[in-house]
Amino acid sequence: MSITCDLAGRHALVTGAGSGIGAAIARRLGAAGARVTLAGRRAAPLHAVAADLPAGAATVVADCDVTDPRAIARGVAAARENFGPIGILINNAGAVESAPFGKMSHESWQRTIAVDLGSVFLVTQAVLPDVTAAGGAGRIVNVASTAGLTGYRYVAAYCAAKHGVVGLTRALALELAPTGVTVNAVCPGFTDTPLARAAIATIMEKTGRSEAEAITGMTAGNPQARLVAPEEVADTVLWLVSPGASSINGQAIAIAGGEVMTG
């Protein structure tokens, strides 16, 4: 692990923690001493991630649909019961559906906005009293995407939602600044997750390309010409929740090898 910090005694809630970036973040936080609530819809992947964390460092909240306020309320209550107030919130849950804009259904649009943007609003509101009570130690990190900083073909709803996440991050950062809480977003490019692997498989099936050729096409916009590792995103999140990042607020940090540059 390239980033180190001591989160002993801190309680972090990670949504979408069962795989990919969420799982990597949970492992990093647990290794740093945090008590981590792993939230998601399916129990088995969450328990598998929990097994990777130090003994007693993780609790699982399954059946947590981040688009359902009642499910969120149950999950947050269970998290508090197990580990106490939540001082660190990682809004990671998300999904993407692709289609040409003219063929995108209203239902697909609504699902994407609900999962990728609405969930950030709902979960953050549910956890906000705990995080603000933590004062200068309170942290909110939203996992957005380079799609929140630029546009991509065939994922208009996803781009709109992730741009919304970045805007919400910036607005909430200003609102909470007097409390000492920081709010930031990380914006990964194409990352080596199950979602990306499924997209690679689809490309291979539809085009006849090899896996290497499919990955080359997918990462063409990344000057480093590779997929981002989930652990690289997790290291950035770990830094953002550390005491050393207390002055980093309202930022959208691209983790994409230079594909998108912010300034």
pLDDT 10s per residue in the chain (263 long)?
455 688 999 999 999 999 999 999 999 999 999 999 999 999 999 999 999 999 999 999 999 999 999 999 999 999 999 999 999 999 999 999 989 999 999 999 999 999 999 999 999 999 999 999 999 999 999 999 999 999 999 999 999 999 999 999 999 999 999 999 999 999 999 998 888 888 888 889 889 999 999 899 888 899 999 999 999 999 999 999 999 999 999 999 999 999 998 87
The sheet with strand 11-15 has its strands ordered as 58-61, 35-39, 11-15, 88-91, 139-143, 182-188, 252-255
Using the Cα atoms of residue 206, residue 209, residue 210 and residue 213 in order, give the sign of their dihedral: negative
Q: Residue 110: how many CA atoms within 13 Å on its side-chain side?
A: 3
Cα 188 from Cα 190, distance rounded (Å): 7
Q: How many CB atoms lie within 10 A of CB 54?
A: 12
How far CA 145 is from CA of 97, 164, 252, in Å, comes to: 14, 11, 9
Residue 152 annotated in active site: no
Strand partners, 60: 38
Cα 98 from Cα 216, distance rounded (Å): 20
At the topology level, CATH places domain 11-191+229-255 in Rossmann fold (3.40.50)
pLDDT at 3: 59
Cα 61 from Cα 74, distance rounded (Å): 9
Strand partners, 139: 88, 182
pLDDT at 1: 42
pLDDT at 150: 96
Domain borders along the chain are 11-191+229-255, 192-227
Give the helix, strand, coil percentages of the chain, each rounded to 5: 50, 15, 35
239 DSSP 8-state letter: H
**Catalytic annotation, pick one of 158, 172, 189, 238:** 158
